[in-house]
Amino acid sequence: MKKYLLIGASAFVLGAGSMAYVSQQAIASAQPRAKTYRMLGLFGDVLLGLFGDVLNTVEQQYVTDVDDTKLIQSAIDGMLTSLDPHSGYLDPENFDDMRDQTRGEYGGLGLEVTSEDGVVKVITPMDGTPAALAGVKAGDYITAVNGDSVLGLSVNEAVKQMRGKPGETVTLTLAREKSDPFDVKIVREVIKPKSATAKMEGDYGVLRIGSFNEKTTDEAEAAFGALRAKNPQMKGLVLDLRNNPGGLLDQAVAVSDLFLEGGEIVSQRGRDPRDVERYNARPGDITGGLPMVVLINTGSASAAEIVAGALQDRRRAELVGLTSFGKGSVQTVIPLRGGMDGALKLTTARYFTPSGRSIQKTGIEPDLEVASTRDEAQSIANRSYQFSEASFRNALNADEGKVRKGAHQPAEAPPEAFDVKKDFQLARASDVLRFGSVAATPKLPKPTAKLAEIIGSKARVAEVKPPQINSK
């Protein structure tokens, strides 16, 4: 059975029994040759001779003994990852781990990671997990595990060093912008994260969805229902999708359906122009028509972008925050021999919002752009430390040929007097609900940003101030 995934940024969850992408078949040199060549048969007869010659040469001349199975699996994975950042090969163990993850229960640290120029980079720590509680942040680079460098290793190889039994401690060495490298100790545990939680923020409910697994829609509906029962005078709802890396397509559709009375939610289109599948909402809005605002940022990817795009296009909610990650592709998991030989994770379609937008690489732009901190506003102004789908060299292009918005001055950032312990983006989302719309919400003065311009071999910095508007 095929499973459609919308996982942001080639995300892998680290830890014992999770998506570690490490084969237990690492002792293949002791395995029967028949199994090796059965796996090699996955390539097909056309390539068998060429690949067999290469494999034979490596076996005979490489400086140390090699693991045939590992070589073959790596070759399959390399073939697929050359297509785009989100296609790949799952060995049997990792295929099982992926299914555990989408079921919403697995062992691990709770980190979503990817590889950037040979360095393992944190996409986001998952809500309530050991990594999040230990203070790991989105954008951190993992340079060593238990004192052993992982620089230059693939994500799969690095993850192998991070695996272990629940209850054991792993030490990660992290590199963070404007900070010296430092160590963080994290105790692995079996993770059962709640993908949806709810709380009140003044007169408004806040429904936080951290990922999209098989339990998300039920958890979101239950969390909102419980909050509404305790707070029947709730005046509006903020749907918080910040740093949500994505997950299952059907859950993104179902969550969108919770707030819509009908109409298209999303469509997916494959290579054949006639290959279009549309997903529509059914009548019934669990909020009863309460005003809504959706919070997004650069960590909102894939399934999260489907929800944000659907609610924005159908004019059900306005968006506050930062432009989303920009992953607009669908991966199909195709088991090989029923999963006995693992599975292919293959990009098979792009998805489109109800208005026909493909947000691949470009992301979804908010109705009110709000940076969470002044430093974040500065990084947007000079494009330093920005991570999105467009960062991948082999990312699919946007279907319409659009490009992601470059360096610019964000609309708003926290004023100097704003309490740094509070959530500025959430505060502005509440303001939009209070005033009724983004258009009606009084705008704050734009922060003064510095744009770094590289001219030749020298860099000069120019202060950029908001344009002066004269009324006559």
**Active site positions, annotated:** 302, 313, 327
- Asked if 112 and 162 count as a contact pair (C-beta separation under 8 A), the reply is no
Can you tell me the distance from the alpha carbon of 423 to that of 121, in angstroms, rounded to the nearest whole number? 25
Beta strands 246-248 and 12-13 are: unpaired
Task: Say how far apart CA 121 and CA 141 lie, in whole Å.
Answer: 4
187 class by beta-carbon count within 10 Å (0-12 exposed, 13-18 middle, 19+ buried)? middle
Give the type of residue at 125.
P
- Give the CA diameter of the chain: 86
Q: How many residues does this entry show for the chain?
A: 472
Contact 304, 241 (CB under 8 A): yes
Q: Token digits for 20?
A: 């570690």
How far is it, in rounded angstroms, from Cα 17 to Cα 13? 10
DSSP secondary structure letters along 410-466: -SB---TTS-TTS-HHHHHHHHHHHHSSTTTSPPPPPPPEEEEEEETTEEEEEEE-P
Distance between CA 426 and CA 236 in Å, rounded?
13
Task: Give the three-state DSSP class for 135.
Answer: coil
Sequence-separated (6 or more) residues with CB below 8 Å from residue 227: 198, 199, 200, 205, 207, 234
Left (φ > 0), alpha (ψ -120 to 50) or beta: where does 99 sit?
alpha
Distance, first Cα to last Cα, the chain:
66
* Helix, strand, coil tally for the chain in percent (to 5): 30, 25, 45
Report how far residue 210's alpha carbon sits from residue 251's, in angstroms, rounded to the nearest whole number.
Answer: 12
